[in-house]
Amino acid sequence: MAIFARVVEYRSFTRAARELGMTKSTVSKQVGRLEDRLGLRLLNRSTRQLSLTEAGAAFYQGCRRMVAEAEQAEQAVSFLAEAPRGTLFVSAPVSFGTLHILPGLPDFLRRYPELRVEVTLNDRLVDLIEEGFDIGVRIRKLEDSALVSRRLAPSRRVLAASPDYLARQGRPRRLEDLADHECLIYAYQVEGALWRLAGPDGKREVKVAGRLRVNNGEALLAAAAGGAGIAFLPTFVCGEALRDGRLARVLPDWSDDEGAVNVICPPGRNLLPKVRVFIDDLVARCAGTPYWDEGIA
C-alpha cells in the first residue's frame, strides 16, 4: 500500500523505485500483487504516463492516510529515541524502592527535565511485559527468561536482633540455638520458615519458628528493632540499623550471600534513552561495595 501510494505521488514506477531504494521491477510486481489481491485495476498504464482508475483513486486516499499516520508514528518514536523524555514506568520491591530508588529520583528528575517517572512498589512477582513496565528491579534469583537483566549489586542477608531482645533472651551461640528463639518470618520468602545460610561449616538449612509473620521488609525491621525477635534481613534493609546500634548481628559468621539486586527490562535490540539513563543511574549508585553494606562486617 505504501509502495502504491508513492507510485501515485511520483506518477512513475521508475522514480518511486529510486526514492524507495528498490528496483523498478520490484515496485511493479508489488503493485501488480496488490491489484490481484483486490481483484481490481488501480492504475492505467501506458508507455508515456500512469493514471488512476476510479477504484485506484478511492484506494489511494486510504493508502495516503495510512502512510501519513505511519510517518507520524515514526516521528513520535524518533522523538523518544533522541533523548530521555516521555514517561518511564518502573516496578520495584517495596523496601528496596522506598529506601534506595525513591531517594535518588529528585536529582535524577532535575537532570532530565523532559522525563516523567511512574514507580509502582509491589513485593509480588510482576509480569513486566503484560503490565506495561519499562524497567523492573528484582532481588530474588532470576529464573530463565526472555527478559534482559543486569546485576546491580550483591544482596546479602544477615541475622539481627535488638540489643534489648538479646539481653532478655540471650545470644544464640550455634545455629541450633535459633530453635529456642522467636524468629520473625518474612511472608513472601519462598522458603518460609526455612532459613538457608552459609558459614564455617558450609551451607546449612535451619527450620525456625515464631509468632510474627510479615510481608514487608521495613515492617520486619521495625519489629526486630522493637525487640520482637531475630530477623533474617537483607543488608539493604537493616544496614543503617546495624550501624546506629538499633540492631546487632546474631551469629555473624553465618549469612546468605547468594542474592543479587537485578534490573530487568523487556527484550529489544535498542534501549530507549529514558531506560538507558535510569539503568546507568542505578549502576552508578550501586557500583562497587553497595553503600548500604558500608561498615557492616
Which residues, other chains included, contact 26 with Cβ-Cβ below 8 Å and sequence gap of 6+? 17
Instruction: Give the structural domain span for 42.
Output: 2-81
The pLDDT of residue 251 is 97
| CATH assignment of the domain containing 229 | 3.40.190.290
On whether both 265 and 130 belong to a single domain, the answer is yes
Summarize pLDDT for 178-225 with one digit per residue, the tens. Answer: 999 999 999 877 666 899 999 998 999 999 999 999 989 999 999 999
- In terms of domains, do 6 and 141 share one? no
Q: Note whether 186 and 252 are same-domain residues.
A: yes
Do both 140 and 276 map to the same domain? Answer: yes
Cell numbers at 136, concatenated: 523492573
**Residue type at 178?**
L
| Contact between residue 7 and residue 50 where contact means Cβ atoms under 8 Å apart | yes
What is the mean predicted confidence (pLDDT) over 146-153? 84
Confirm if 97 and 287 have CB atoms less than 8 A apart: no
172 and 235, same domain (yes or no): yes
Based on the fold, state whether residues 121 and 265 are members of the same structural domain.
Answer: yes
173 confidence band (pLDDT: 50, 70, 90): very high
Same domain for 146 and 199, yes or no, is no
Alpha-helical regions (H) of 156-227: 163-169, 217-225
Length of the chain: 297
In a shared domain, residues 17 and 70: yes
> Does residue 116 sit in the same domain as residue 59?
no
63: how many CB neighbours lie within 10 A of its CB? 20
Q: Residue 116's beta-bridge partner residues? A: 87
Q: Is there a single domain that holds both residue 182 and residue 218? A: yes
How many domains is the chain partitioned into structurally?
Answer: 3
User: Which residues pair with residue 90 across a beta bridge?
Assistant: 119, 135
pTM over 0.75: no
Q: What is the pLDDT of residues 220-257, one digit of tens each?
A: 999 999 999 999 999 999 999 999 999 999 999 999 98
Shared-domain flag, residues 67 and 140? no
Q: What CATH number is attached to the domain comprising 108?
A: 3.40.190.10
Residue owning grid cell 528496596: 96
Percent of the chain beyond pLDDT 90?
Answer: 56
Residues 12 and 92 occupy one common structural domain: no
The number of beta carbons lying within 10 Å of the beta carbon of residue 275 is: 21
